[in-house]
Structure 1
């Protein structure tokens, strides 16, 4: 029976992969079909199949929808107001021309915290192209560190969708994940960003030029000031860290600690940051109510797709639990003495290579590993989230939208994109995983 369940599980994962890559289904459809396939062939009764699906979707989306929506709105305000550009300009001035790769990395890292990878690229690239034209340096030296900063944050740091989904599925503490992710993401990003860019720019000189981005210059008076821009991005991070630390602030009364924990909850901290952005990056920058409402509606539409993928991933997890597959895989991994952290990294990496989506890899891998750890003690759930996130970055290639974005926006050939972006993503993945294993020795 155990072997049969494992074969059915493997076939359901293959179904996800074929659905996304061969049939070109949306990941939500692929995950839903795979969940139903697994439930039926694993022998779940007809009445339990739909209820397992609904329980899984509700369980993972219950506290995520608001966080994802608010994080996206905050990112949109930073993009439209020019706050992201102001931060990038600040780092370029602070580091100077000789240390441009470092300036671009920190710009990408900070800008990447509240915005999706694709949005971050659109904020950074006009600056990259302006600098490249002025300095005549290899565009890879300037662009790759910024992209590395965006990518490592996208894979590991809440409130990005994959990390948030894994936190919900594993039941990890968001504040701790945020803290650990920043500790791991910085060194991984530095190695995969400025250091890798310095090495590769001597070996790969792009033959083409970036054509897609037209640089629009904004005057300094049109941008919000630098301090305000930084504060708008870091406000939710600061509030979440305070919320996580609140229970240990014994010098405050119980009521004050509870209030701080409430303000530091992801939903409330992001809501406060959004209202801060509406006023200081919106009204104060000359936007009216209608314009802000339009931006909000524009950016919420793409969230629907991510919410569906995460929900379907939660359903897949629940079917794995209810059909007994989780317990079977758990018994096997215990007998193999394979660490759940290593297992999560490997599964996420394989799914990422197969489907091309970091979010699908994170969500599906978390769904597979979550039932395994239910009866295990001593598993650090926060590091498990980060190991899964590290795996989801691995070996981006032609089935990944990010691969084509980087290729087209930087004017690279397919071969040049493999030599730069694909290697960069794989370096980020393995260095971040090394960071997880190292941190596991201490926490």
Structure 2
């Protein structure tokens, strides 16, 4: 009864069965799953897991004594702290870009550059390179309004565009520093960060190519239409799509809500990488302040709102922006609640000791290190939902083997295998799953049939590329 694998199985049955079988709202199903998982987890296990993560013994004991409600609320709040402001402001930015015509202007410019036929490829590559310096969820927030506007412009391929965005952002997040997971991995496994960036980009381009072909197949097999949503009604987007070029904002201005957060986050990332101890100049501190992801996206939101005000200057709308912003926040609020509930469920699973249990099962498994690394990361990701946790767990398990064994290839290949394995398998315990599901208006079943296999295909394609690369270019 106390085995983490049994608790995991129970949690999976409750969440998946509740949402698909009983038609429960995801927020309720995830909270119910978190409650049952927490109820089945002994206090002694919680204390041991906290100590294993570096928590002081007194704090670990205090955590174990907390009530189930407190522990769930804590993990719920931790997830809100990470994504709450981002989602709220991203909802405003997306609504503003659609309302002002900025998304339409960007789409028209992109079509002139690439043509309709290559638009999905442009989304794929853009999402990948945006995902290197910018958080995964931020890329989704910035790109989804463009996908909706593009779909109305070309009249088809909505699922293809959504999957291209997901494919690019997801692979960059787990393969290329300075994303948090790969950044921890290179430090744990003593891999040069420059080598990981180059190798991760190469492998990432192979994987997103495989993802693109899967997206083409899925789009043909089960085309999904663009649907009405509270923050982006189809009739409003269609009205904007019918506007003349002169009625739309200039391209440079249209890009500001996206470029402002992107530029400041990239600058902050570069400064962190080159920072020296004791560097406290006021200019450096200002850039760090502006480069904080929450501050940066708030600035993007301000730019987006000013853009709407500018575009409305000749219109008589005395109600101002309040109803407009409220509609965006109502949509974003639902995403925040579901995502935070998913974080609470994943946090309760982590407290069961599932990662340690998986490590014990695989420590004596005599398999080549590259597929072993992939397998461990994949199992941890599937079990508890976080790609970053999967990266950290797998790199911790394998760092000693990678550094001490007499390898015939560079440890970077093990790091890349961990990154690709961490993509398998996203489902309802993953906050990113809910973000893309709700932003795109896909149903849970549609997301499980498209997004989950997309990442499986890309992860397996990456494993194949990594094993071929280790054989042909061992780098030792």
TM-score normalised to the size of structure 1? Answer: 0.67
- 8 A contact 2:206–2:461 mirrored in 1: no
TM alignment of 1:9-158, pairs within 5 A: 9-44=8-43, 47-96=66-115, 100-106=116-122, 113=139, 115=141, 119-129=145-155, 145-153=160-168, 155=170
After TM superposition, give the deviation of residue 319 of structure 1 in Å.
2.9
| Residue 135 (structure 2) aligns with | none
- 8 A contact 1:88–1:103 mirrored in 2: no
| Residue 235 (structure 1) aligns with | 260
The 1-side partners of 2:358 and 2:459 are apart by: 26
The 1-side partners of 2:73 and 2:321 are apart by: 34
After TM superposition, give the deviation of residue 263 of structure 1 in Å.
1.5
SS of 1:254's equivalent? coil
The 1-side partners of 2:215 and 2:27 are apart by: 35
The 2-side partners of 1:293 and 1:172 are apart by: 44
Q: 1:230 to 1:218 in 2, by over 3 A?
A: same
The 1-side partners of 2:334 and 2:263 are apart by: 29
After TM superposition, give the deviation of residue 429 of structure 1 in Å.
4.5
C-alpha deviations, 1:270-317, integer Å up to 9, x for none? 1111112222x2122125684433232111112223322332333334
After TM superposition, give the deviation of residue 153 of structure 1 in Å.
5.0
2:297 to 270, 290, 308: 270
SS of 1:113's equivalent? helix
C-alpha deviations, 1:221-241, integer Å up to 9, x for none? 221111222343232122111
1:308 to 334, 337, 340: 337
1:218 to 240, 243, 253: 243
After TM superposition, give the deviation of residue 52 of structure 1 in Å.
2.3
Q: Which ranges in structure 1 are unaligned for 5 or more consecutive residues?
A: 130-138, 159-165, 352-362, 395-399, 408-413
The 2-side partners of 1:382 and 1:78 are apart by: 36
- 8 A contact 1:105–1:149 mirrored in 2: yes
- 8 A contact 1:344–1:365 mirrored in 2: no
The 1-side partners of 2:334 and 2:28 are apart by: 11
Q: 1:116 to 1:8 in 2, by over 3 A?
A: same
| Residue 392 (structure 1) aligns with | 426
The 1-side partners of 2:37 and 2:451 are apart by: 35
SS of 1:64's equivalent? helix
Q: 1:181 to 1:66 in 2, by over 3 A?
A: farther
The 1-side partners of 2:246 and 2:335 are apart by: 36
The 2-side partners of 1:178 and 1:306 are apart by: 32
SS of 2:69's equivalent? helix
C-alpha deviations, 1:194-214, integer Å up to 9, x for none? 8974x899x9899x9999966
The 1-side partners of 2:96 and 2:198 are apart by: 25
What's the Cα RMSD here? Answer: 5.1
The 2-side partners of 1:273 and 1:245 are apart by: 20
Q: 1:116 to 1:339 in 2, by over 3 A?
A: farther
TM alignment of 1:215-364, pairs within 5 A: 215-216=238-239, 217-249=242-274, 254-255=280-281, 256-279=283-306, 281-286=307-312, 290-336=319-365, 339=372, 341-345=374-378, 364=385
The 1-side partners of 2:184 and 2:68 are apart by: 23
After TM superposition, give the deviation of residue 145 of structure 1 in Å.
5.0
The 1-side partners of 2:458 and 2:104 are apart by: 28
- 8 A contact 1:108–1:149 mirrored in 2: yes
The 1-side partners of 2:213 and 2:4 are apart by: 46
After TM superposition, give the deviation of residue 157 of structure 1 in Å.
6.9
Q: 1:425 to 1:340 in 2, by over 3 A?
A: same
